């Protein structure tokens, strides 16, 4: 293609246009490929075709300047212009100069102004000005006269501007000669190296652009086939930090399409665009709330947050059970403390568009377990800025913490925390929720239900449930015996049964947020049927990435419609009441 263009008379203006268009073409083709892939769900084929075409196109045009500036060794010229100098000057004009600005003075200086010719002999270049000048051009007549008077004059291989038209022209015979000799510029090895380098550069650049676009758009297939398998090769805690970084910097496209009306709900005087929330444990330091909201979550729970900063347990403290689609963690309430988290939550709360934000409150390791002061301090600190507060007494990674779920200790804790909440002096008091463990026997569940139904201990909701210390016998992963809380698919049925139990024990009077093993719209629907008003997920988000949020909402909407429910509120507790 390039050779044919040169043979028909490619001039410097045409070359400049090609070089100005080429970067634009190579930059827009991968994004266009991404949009086509997202539209037609055939991103693999489109990626290969686009990257290959861009690479071939770029490689073919890479050496235009070298081809048209090849050294002419037997031209009979009255001076010699080394190809390397000519090539570098031409390349400077085409690649690094605005051609409009460079014509003709800058271009003439760059290409012909410093060729080593004497001042006297440089004037002979005028006889090679082309004859396409506009009528009345004095240079045209002078050139014609010069050719007639000195027909034996040897050609001068320089480009010069026409003094009247201010344009640069390339002699026709120069183009012909160079067409025949362009292969002399590089050896075969040098040319191959340059072409391979160009091919690799464009391929990697196009692939990176395409991948970035797919990540930005939240392409489900791309995440499942490439992004998540890559993150699973990383250390689990490193992968967690990388995900928080991506959400913190909003490296995913904001959901523009509104959620279906069928999954919208209202609870505690707040409107939830959808019932799918992110459980505590992902955004422990309140760094990524805006990015998580953009992902499509109806609400985001941060923490657990402790009054004083603490590092948590020693590493390694997170284990990924790939075969079981589960995670075991023993973080141990690693937190930057109330002050650091408070400033971020307050800043997020001042934004016009934000998610419903819950703050999960925990205890410091060094605090006495029977002391409720850490929770009271948390309520006082975050009560005015959080949409809801969670008292976490069910983490298995803080020694003695689950003892606060015992009847007497729990009643004392809730009464003290409720008193602190009621004395905040704010216009709207935040709902107070209690997060409980799944590893409770029937008697302990009844005790908790009786406590939270008492007038002076009546919480606004419960979160069922936290991670479990039990280990199902069918776990396959090599990390199954690690200590810590187990979450993910093995917890799904345990959690659903626990939700149903508390819905029956409380008579449906206490709203429930169901969490544990939610990975599909069907999982969320089962939690709602068991008695959950809202649903949270975490482990499935770690395994499948941001696209899971949209997919669960889409599937939940389809299930509700197929079952004849106009809204999720109509399905809450249906299976619990019938069992």
Q: Which residues are annotated as catalytic?
A: 395
What does the angle CA 101 – CA 104 – CA 110 come to, to the nearest 5 degrees?
A: 90
Tally Cβ neighbours within 10 Å of residue 248. Answer: 16
- Under DSSP, the state recorded for 390 is E
For 28-50, b/e burial (b = at least 16 CB within 10 A) is ebbeebbebbbeeeebeebbeeb
For 320-355, b/e burial (b = at least 16 CB within 10 A) is bbeebbbbbbbbbbbbbebeebbebbeebeeeeeeb
User: Which two three-digit tokens encode residue 419?
Assistant: 């008193």
User: Which two three-digit tokens encode residue 209?
Assistant: 């652009």
Residues 6+ apart with CB under 8 A from 271: 264, 265
List C-alpha distances in Å: 539 to 281, 466, 544, 546: 10, 12, 9, 12
> Does the CA dihedral 331-337-340-344 come out positive or negative?
positive
Tally Cβ neighbours within 10 Å of residue 504. Answer: 17
3 state SS of 452: helix
Phi and psi, residue 369, nearest 5°: -65, -35
Q: Whole-angstrom Cα distance, residue 349 to residue 356? A: 9
3 state SS of 536: strand
**Per-residue DSSP letters for 294-349?**
HHT-SEEEEEEE-SS-B--SPSP-EEEEGGGTEEEE-----B--HHHHHHHHHHHH
Contact 115, 69 (CB under 8 A): no
458: Cα separation from own chain's centroid: 42
* Pairing mode of beta strands 485-488, 299-305: unpaired
Sheet holding 318-321, edge to edge: 318-321, 326-329, 485-488
Q: Whole-angstrom Cα distance, residue 79 to residue 114? A: 13
Q: What is the CA radius of gyration of the chain?
A: 36
User: Which two three-digit tokens encode residue 19?
Assistant: 């070089």
Q: Whole-angstrom Cα distance, residue 535 to residue 519? A: 11
Tally Cβ neighbours within 10 Å of residue 115. Answer: 18
């Amino acid at each position: 293609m390039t050779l044919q263009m040169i043979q028909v008379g490619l001039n410097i203006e045409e070359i400049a246009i090609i070089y100005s268009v080429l970067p634009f073409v190579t930059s827009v083709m991968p994004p266009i490929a991404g949009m086509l892939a997202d539209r037609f769900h055939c991103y693999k084929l489109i990626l290969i075709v686009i990257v290959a075409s861009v690479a071939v196109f770029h490689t073919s045009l890479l050496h235009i300047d070298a081809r048209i500036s090849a050294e002419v060794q037997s031209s009979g010229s009255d001076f010699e212009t080394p190809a390397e100098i000519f090539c570098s000057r031409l390349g400077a004009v085409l690649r690094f100069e605005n051609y409009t600005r460079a014509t003709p003075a800058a271009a003439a200086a760059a290409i012909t102004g410093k060729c080593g010719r004497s001042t006297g002999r440089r004037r002979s270049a005028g006889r090679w000005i082309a004859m396409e000048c506009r009528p009345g051009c004095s240079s045209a007549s002078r050139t014609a006269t010069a050719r007639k008077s000195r027909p034996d004059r040897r050609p001068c291989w320089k480009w010069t501007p026409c003094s009247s038209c201010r344009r640069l022209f390339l002699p026709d015979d120069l183009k012909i000669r160079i067409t025949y000799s362009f292969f002399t510029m590089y050896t075969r090895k040098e040319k191959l190296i340059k072409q391979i380098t160009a091919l690799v550069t464009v391929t990697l650049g196009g692939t990176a652009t395409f991948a970035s676009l797919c990540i930005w758009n939240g392409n489900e297939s791309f995440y499942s086939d490439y992004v998540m398998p890559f993150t699973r090769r990383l250390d689990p805690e490193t992968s967690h930090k990388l995900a928080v970084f991506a959400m913190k910097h909003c490296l995913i496209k904001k959901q523009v399409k509104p959620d279906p009306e069928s999954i919208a709900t209202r609870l505690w005087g707040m409107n939830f665009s959808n019932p799918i929330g992110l459980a505590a444990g992902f955004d422990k330091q309140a760094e990524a709330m805006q990015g998580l909201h953009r992902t499509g979550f109806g609400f985001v729970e941060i923490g657990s947050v402790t009054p004083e900063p603490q590092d948590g347990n020693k590493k390694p403290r997170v284990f990924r059970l790939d075969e079981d689609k589960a995670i075991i963690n023993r973080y141990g309430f690693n937190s930057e403390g109330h002050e650091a988290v408070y400033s971020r939550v307050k800043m997020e709360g001042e934004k016009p568009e934000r998610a419903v934000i819950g703050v999960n409150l925990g205890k410091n390791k060094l605090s006495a377990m029977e002391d409720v002061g850490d929770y009271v301090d948390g309520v006082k600190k975050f009560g005015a800025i959080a949409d809801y507060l969670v008292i976490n007494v069910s983490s298995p990674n803080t020694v003695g913490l689950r003892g606060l779920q015992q009847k007497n200790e729990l009643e004392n804790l809730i009464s003290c925390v409720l008193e602190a909440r009621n004395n905040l002096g704010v216009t709207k008091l935040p709902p107070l929720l209690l997060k409980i463990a799944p590893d409770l026997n029937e008697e302990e569940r009844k005790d908790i239900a009786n406590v939270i139904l008492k007038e002076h201990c009546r919480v606004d909701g419960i979160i069922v449930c936290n991670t479990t210390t039990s280990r199902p016998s069918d776990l396959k992963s090599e990390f199954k015996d690690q200590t810590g809380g187990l979450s993910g698919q093995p917890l799904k049925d345990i959690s659903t049964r626990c939700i149903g139990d508390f819905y029956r024990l409380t008579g449906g009077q206490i709203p429930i947020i169901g969490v544990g093993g939610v990975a599909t719209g069907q999982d969320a629907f089962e939690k709602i049927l068991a008695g959950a008003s809202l649903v949270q997920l975490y482990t499935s988000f770690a395994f499948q990435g941001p696209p899971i949020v949209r997919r669960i909402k889409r599937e939940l909407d389809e299930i509700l419609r197929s079952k004849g429910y106009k809204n999720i509120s109509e399905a809450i507790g249906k299976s619990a009441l019938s069992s």
